[in-house]
Amino acid sequence: MTAPVLYSLAGKRVFVAGHRGMVGSALMRRLAGERCELITVPRGDVDLRRQDAVERWMAANRPQAVFLAAATVGGIYINDARPGDFLYDNLAIETNVIEAARQVGVEKLMFLGSSCIYPRAARQPMPESELLTGPLEPTNQWYALAKIAGIMLCRAYRRQHGCDYISAMPTNLYGPGDNFDLEASHVIPALIAKAHRAKDRGGEIPVWGTGSPLREFMHVDDLADAVVFLMKNYSGEEHVNVGTGQEVSIRALAETVARIVGVERPLRFDPAKPDGMPRKLLDTGRLRELGWQPRIGLEEGLRATYAWYLEHVARHAA
């Protein structure tokens, strides 16, 4: 059964914060079909970490709905290497945008978090109720803490100010527009870039950690569809998990990526690099009950992402 439409985006002024990022640009593509007026601001004009600048821009532009997809993000290595940036930038961006939205009377706001908000030893698959039930995974605790604060700020503003601000927690994402820089990236773009390099130049395909961690991956176009669905059909204090329900080991993922890239070179695991969470599978029962399901399978999504990489990254590097 599909939940009733609670909020219509039609004819609304909709601000996508972080519209150049992988998630923000997927939202821009998805929202193009919604008959709403999309507004964005280049990073060079307004640094979302600066409270004055954000408040001035929001007062001048007065959006009615906001998708808060702006964030400092990255994979397991960069999260751990730049804890100050991951904590400060994300706290600043979310507090500035959420408070400025309240000041100008934004009707509805969607805050985007991450599945790393859950404790390292959380029950699997992880329901929304696992939040704050135990210690965080050390490699991403700074980012996770900032995202937990964002969820809580939305909840607090609902209670104190009656703001219809909601939160969605996506699983690990990938897709067009991802960051393929090997130090900063997540595992899928890293493996695509490494497999492509091995195809070009030979050698092994280096894989961080033991290969045994399990991860759930979602194509960013599915995420964008789920988030727009929730914006229209969900209102409540509790955040909502967004995932596929399918998990894969990092070893199996690396093998799949190598097959899609078309390279037959050995994988070389590096156990000196961190594994991070042993398992990170979301319980997506709530989202499914509301009536939403993913459409893009991992194999199909990886093929599309490799095609995007060839067109937009490898071609320019050649």
Query: Residues with catalytic annotation?
Result: 143
Judge contact between 214 and 248, C-beta under 8 A.
yes
Query: From the list 111, 165, 180, 208, which residue makes contact with ligand GFB (rule: CB under 6 A)?
Result: 208
To ligand GFB, the closest distance from the beta carbon of 70 in angstroms equals 15
Stretch that binds ligand GFB, among 44-52, 69-77, 226-234, 295-303 (CB under 6 A): 69-77
Q: What three-state secondary structure class fits 8?
A: coil
For the chain, the distance separating the N- and C-terminal CA atoms, rounded to the nearest angstrom, is 50
The nearest distance, CB 74 to ligand GFB, in angstroms, is 7
Q: Checking phi first, is residue 132 left (phi over 0); if not, alpha (psi -120 to 50) or beta?
A: left
What is the dihedral angle through the alpha carbons of 120, 126, 132, 138, rounded to the nearest 10 degrees?
20
Which 3 state secondary structure label does DSSP give 46? coil
C-beta closer to ligand GFB: residue 15 or 306: 306
Is residue 187 a contact residue for ligand GFB (CB under 6 A)? yes
Nearest distance from C-beta of residue 233 to ligand GFB, angstroms: 25
Question: Is residue 276 involved in binding ligand GFB (CB under 6 A)?
Answer: yes
Indicate which single residue of 65, 68, 168, 207 sits in contact with ligand GFB (rule: CB under 6 A).
207
| Residue 140 in the binding site for ligand GFB (CB under 6 A) | yes
User: Which residue reads 């999309």 in tokens?
Assistant: 38
Question: Is residue 131 involved in binding ligand GFB (CB under 6 A)?
Answer: no
Which residues in 297-318 are b (16+ Cβ under 10 Å) and which e? ebeebbebbbebbeeebbeeee
Nearer to ligand GFB, 218 or 296 (CB): 218
Using CB under 6 A, which of the segments 181-189, 224-232, 235-243, 310-318 binds ligand GFB? 181-189
Q: How far is the CB of 292 from ligand GFB (least distance, A)?
A: 20
Vertex 216: Cα angle to 183 and 126 (nearest 5): 115
d(CA 154, CA 167): 7
Closer residue to ligand GFB, CB minimum distance, 14 or 188: 188
Residue 150 — φ and ψ, nearest 5°?
A: -65, -45
Neighbouring CB atoms inside 10 A of 243's CB total: 26
97, 54 Cβ separation under 8 angstroms:
yes
Instruction: Write out the binding residues for ligand GFB, residues 210-239 only, by CB under 6 A.
Output: 213, 215
Q: Which residues bind ligand GFB (CB under 6 A)?
A: 75-77, 79, 114, 116, 139-140, 143, 172, 185-187, 190, 207-209, 213, 215, 250, 273-277, 280
